[in-house]
Amino acid sequence: MAYEKYIAAVAVSNTTFGYDRRYKYLVPVDLEGRIFVGVRVIVPFGKGNRKRIGVVIRIDNVSDLPDGENVTMFKPLRSVIDNEPLLNAEMLELMMWIRETTLCTYFEAFRTLIPIGLSVNYTSKYIIAEDRPSDTGILSEEARKLWDTIQNDIQCLDEAKVSVIKELEDKGFLTEKDDVKRRRKDETIKMLRLTEKYIDGEVKAELSEKQRAVAELLESCGAAAVKEINYICGVTSSVINTLKKKDVVEAFEYETIIEPKVTVNESADDIILSDEQQQCFDGISALIDAEKPDASLLYGVTGSGKTAVFIKLIQYVLEKQRNVIMLIPEISLTPQVVEKFTSLFGDLVSVMHSNLSLSQRLNEFKRVKSGRARIVVGTRSAVFAPLDNIGLIIMDEEGERTYKSESSPRYNAKDIAKKRCVTHNAVLLMASATPSVESYYYALKGRYKLFTMTKRYSRNHLPSVEIIDLATEGFYGSSSTFSERLVDEININLERKEQVILLLNRRGYYTFISCCDCKAPVICPNCSVPLTYHKVNNKLMCHYCGHMQDMISACPQCGKNHLKLTGIGTQKVEDEISRLFPDARILRMDADTTYSRYAYEKNFKAFENGEYDIMLGTQMIAKGLDFPNVTLVGVVSIDKALFSGDFRSYERTFSLLTQSVGRCGRGEKQGRAFIQTYVPNHYVINLAAEQNYVGFFDQELEMRKALIYPPFCDTCMFEFSSEMDRCADTASRCFMNMIREKIEKEKTSIPLRVLEPSRCTYEKLNGKFRYRIIIKCRNNAEFRKFIGDIYKKVFKMKEFANVQTTIDINGDISL
């Protein structure tokens, strides 16, 4: 095969970070017209030339090869997967930036940018070569015997020696054929058009009246769907088939994009902003007008009408012929947001989140890429929507941890949004009633523009909040989880026909089982995590690895049958609510009741319509939801969240409490909330009850400054996991020594505080023991090069042979 002009730099799949680089391949002459930057290809990789999928990230002329390189050094590409590039220039640059900032591989970054429906499965198989030699004398005896066999049954290759198959391939008897299948095919409709022969008058067949009607229709419109032809001409499939046989028409598949069926029944012009809202709108729209990259923070109390400001800003951006991305932290918030936005903007709205089917995700991707949708609403991954000419990116509840990816690449959607705003000269608008400490700090320092709304839009007061001391307040029954006061308040609401929201951020029935004799807890066999009892299926379950087993009657450690079940989950509270309020209609919202695709939409709509009196749930019901008839919120228990072992635990608890309390009193009626706790004097709970974010921020900032945590530094965590405890421990200590040696050798001045290796909070998950090293640093290019050089080495050292090493910059360190 001849090779000519071009060398393609390819990012290859399934490489580790230590071996990840741009691998160069020759472009065969017959593929030159199909190779573009951004297309996927099949390449031979490694000494065994194993076939891998890759993506082309650069194309150079052979004449531009640097000194010391020549075409004989490179293997040829095998085949091309895509007919057109999947990445444009912006996405390609973003892919490189993600790799550089998160220390992932090229292909991991690429895979994040495209919908999963576009991913492919690759297999290869041997077939008999068409231009094979006629002389089998050139084969060894073993190869000749195999050749004689496979001519009748090629399936026997599955059991043949690799060396013999290789000989048949090398000598031209067999050829390897690539088989690439996309996970989801394009949606198409079957179309008909006249053949070139018929148009040129080469077909002389006589046509019946119905056949002639079909031909005349196609002559007038060029092409039409088979179903349309059947309907318009009143013909059946037999007429179509006859026309195909006469070479009059030919069928082809036409790719379609399904448009949502929505009705616009509201207008953004009808929304009247308050004085505070108008000031925020004017300030942010001025930033948009400047057409320069900028970032702003909208801090507004719960119920202050941030969504109304979003809508007016979106309308403003659309009028300027620019586009918008709106990010929301939870899939549970999608139904209400999408319903509101589609009623205002119709089919300009596209929805992107992981709960959509593969075909739905692919269809939305195409709608956005084609320009049919101009407003993208979705969770974290929606930040990668292939929108052009972005004018505004909104991050609602910007401090939520769900915006941070927990798998490689471990990016933060906020960082991606900033990068895209720089590319498009757009504005990033972060918004929350409880902004992250870092964002509010940067806003006060002037890095972000700060806009505030301190009053509720409805002019109602914020809910009245009362803290119930469970150590002194009487319970409603000996085994109750409800105080008498909270039970009385729920009864009042039920009598008034007003709705109640109850928060408990733990699912299951009993969350802890232990032995009364040996005191040992019943833990997951794969994790160092207590199993949770689920009454619905009478099973013990691990909420981390998914392990499930039957309920036990005896202690696994000592064999005695004195087991104690403690801790409360949403299932147990649901049972108790049913007992205390037998006539109440109860909706439970947690991971066990919302696994179906449309569960959020169906259940929230039913609650909004008054079909339920009480909604009990985990944190998915605490933020962003708006139910006017909810006038009472009860926090069943929150103490465990305060002491989770993460420096952000106070911040998350304050946010959860503040947001939960803010779900009530959003209509015309005054709201009230009750927080049950054993630590009623804790300042976090008291400040949340006061809805005093600024007071909390001041105290939290002082603590972070004293302990040197963000925003006064960045964090970088390395995790070492292995099925053998000793291997993970050894690897963590070896990595620590590598950091010390590099610092001493290079006399680096990079500001670092490296904490000694330690077990993770949950020392074992998914059958692997876990250790970690936490580094307090300044996340810049110099630090990433310093730590990246060390990270690359671990993949080539024997101490890390049985150890998985991961890196997470500014991630969650609570586990």
Alpha helix segments (H runs only) across 581-620: 599-608
- For the record, the structure tokens of 34 come out as 């199909």
**Interatomic CA distance for residues 661 and 730, integer angstroms:** 47
For every residue of 722-761, which 3-state class applies, written as one string? ECCHHHHHHHHHHHHHHHHHHHHHHCCCCCCEECCCEEEE
Task: Please check whether residue 111 is in contact with residue 54, taking contact to mean a CB–CB distance below 8 angstroms.
Answer: no
C-alpha distances in angstroms, 147 versus 125, 133, 157, 158?
Answer: 16, 12, 10, 13
Q: What pLDDT digit, counting tens, does each position of 254-297 carry?
A: 888 888 888 888 999 999 999 999 999 999 999 999 999 999 99
> Do residues 583 and 490 touch, judged by C-beta distance below 8 A?
no
> What separation in angstroms does the CA of 118 have from each of 110, 355, 373?
12, 16, 19
Phi and psi at residue 47, in whole multiples of 5°?
A: -65, -35
- Tens digit of each residue's pLDDT (9 = 90 or more) over 711-761: 999 999 999 999 999 999 999 999 999 999 999 988 888 899 999 999 998
Helix 306-319 / helix 334-345 crossing angle, nearest 10 deg: 40
Euclidean distance between the first and final Cα of the chain, in Å? 55
Residue 309 is which amino acid? V
Which tokens hold the place of 372? Answer: 């049919």
What is the model's pTM?
A: 0.89
Amino acid code (one letter) for 504 = L
Q: Residue 547: how many CB atoms within 10 A of its CB?
A: 18
Whether 332 has a pLDDT exceeding 90, the answer reads no
Is the pLDDT reported for residue 467 higher than 60?
yes
pLDDT band at 356 (very low <50, low <70, confident <90, very high): confident
Percent of the chain with pLDDT over 90: 66
Please name the residue ranges forming H helices in 74-137. 89-102, 106-113
Which range scores top for mean pLDDT: 56-65, 169-178, 594-603, 688-697?
688-697
User: Residue 815's pLDDT is what?
Assistant: 62
Q: Which of 135-139, 277-281, 407-411, 808-812 has the lowest mean pLDDT?
A: 135-139
